[in-house]
Amino acid sequence: MMKPINVGLCGTGVVGGGTAVVLKRNAEEIARRAGRPIVITMAATREPERAREVCGPDVVITENVFDVVNNPDIDIVVELIGGTTIAKEIVLKAIENGKHVVTANKKLLAEYGNEIFAKAQEKGVMVAFEAAVAGGIPIIKALREGLTANKIEWVAGIINGTSNFILTEMRDKGAAFADVLKEAQALGYAEADPTFDIEGHDAAHKLTIMSAIAFGIPVQFDKAYLEGISKLEAQDIGYAQELGYRIKLLGITRRKPNGIELRVHPTLIPHKRLIANVDGVMNAVLVKGDAVGATLYYGAGAGAEPTASSVIADLVDITRLATADPENRVPHLAFQPTKMANLPILSIDEVETCYYLRINAQDKPGVLADITRIFADASISIDSMLQKPAPEDRADIIILTHLAVEKNVNGALAKIEALDAINGKVVKLRLEHLA
């Protein structure tokens, strides 16, 4: 056996602890695969007692992360601290010092990935980030290597466990968002401040990374469209179900002739689709390639050992490839850095999709005719319609449309909302057939 690869661990929380445990437990198997042992020799942490417990007696424990990054004996730095302040400093310093980096930090890569990958390229080191997207599911590897023959057409993912759990509970119990959120917090699935998860930030960070790899474009998180689940009403989940759809918080990125769609929002999906049946805190990513068709990747999107599984796979990859010439390694964002495409990210107004619309109207003759005329004038074609009695002699009219451009739909809705018979704003949700 060759001499071990020395790993410096920054952060010994849930994922850091899981990484230490799995690496130790499967040490022999991992060494057989990697061609040499992979050993954590140093760990930086704010909780030395816990670190000692998970890392064992042989690991040097420090409270200063820069001890790890500046240690000449460390080959690979694993960044599991999160955030974009100290983590960014650690990663850039490790690269500067000629060390490879493994990170699970989706926010860091979605916001500063271009700078980080350029620096790594310049220094001839690797930055691996399988654990940053969908926890233990090897989706980065699938997109970047497994599907490399394909022109990727679109990627659609349930990539935030917290919001998927909330939507699953709302559907199963017919409960209101606020009540289910409290339950999720009590179970530890949602943070005290859940904004990052429920408003789509976390999903958009992950989607930004997948989009860059799928289409060979720079990461552009600031151009992503985000719409969360906090305004979703139980009745729409019920109506969707009646029409044969499930509502999921979906991250969607699609290649179009005029640019790339990059959007996260609650989405109706036909209930027969496998991905519509991904429930609770599980994650799933559906990828459509021109040669392969649709492929689905399902599994745990978070948790100590599932995420550690991805961190360690990256450690093995780097161990195998560390000796390869930098230009013969897999490029960070799948395409050669000099061949990145300069495709625009489309604004939500330019997006083309199908729509679920709920219109609250007076229940009297002629109202439906007015509504359908407005859609016809805007060249928006109706797929199906459902009418339900609502309180005070009103009706809920639910309309599903065929493909339409968002700005045309918004224009039509403004005209419908201006009709005397219409009460309040129209509820608008997007619908994807994912066929």
Active site residues: 206
User: Which uninterrupted H or E stretch holds 38?
Assistant: strand 38-44
Beta-strand runs (E) in 221-375: 225-226, 245-256, 259-270, 282-289, 293-300, 352-362
Interatomic CA distance for residues 129 and 313, integer angstroms: 10
Look up residue 259 and give its two tokens.
């640019």
The encoded tokens of residue 162 equal 């917290």
Burial 400-432 (b: 16+ CB within 10 A, else e): bbeebbbeebeebbebbeeeebbbeebbebbbb
**Separation CA 316–CA 7 (nearest Å):** 11
Residue 9 C-beta-side C-alpha neighbours within 13 Å: 32
Residue 279 half-sphere exposure toward CB, CA atoms < 13 A: 8
Three-class SS state of 140:
helix
Give counts: helices (H), strands (E), the chain.
15, 17
Task: Measure the CA–CA gap between 435 and 433, rounded to whole angstroms.
Answer: 5
**Quick one: DSSP state of residue 369?**
H
Q: How far is CA 163 from the centre of its chain?
A: 12
CA 31 to chain centre: 31
Q: Are 416 and 367 in contact (CB under 8 A)?
A: no
Q: 142: which DSSP letter?
A: I
CA distances from 128 to 133, 160, 174, 203, 383 (A): 11, 21, 41, 19, 45
CA distance 217 to 212: 5
Cα angle vertex 158, ends 155, 159, to 5°? 95
Q: Count other Cβ atoms within 10 Å, centred on residue 258.
A: 10
Structure tokens at 35: 């061609």
Question: In angstroms, rounded to a whole number, what is the distance separating the alpha carbons of residues 417 and 434?
Answer: 30
Spatial distance between the Cα atoms of 343 and 368, rounded to a whole number of angstroms:
41
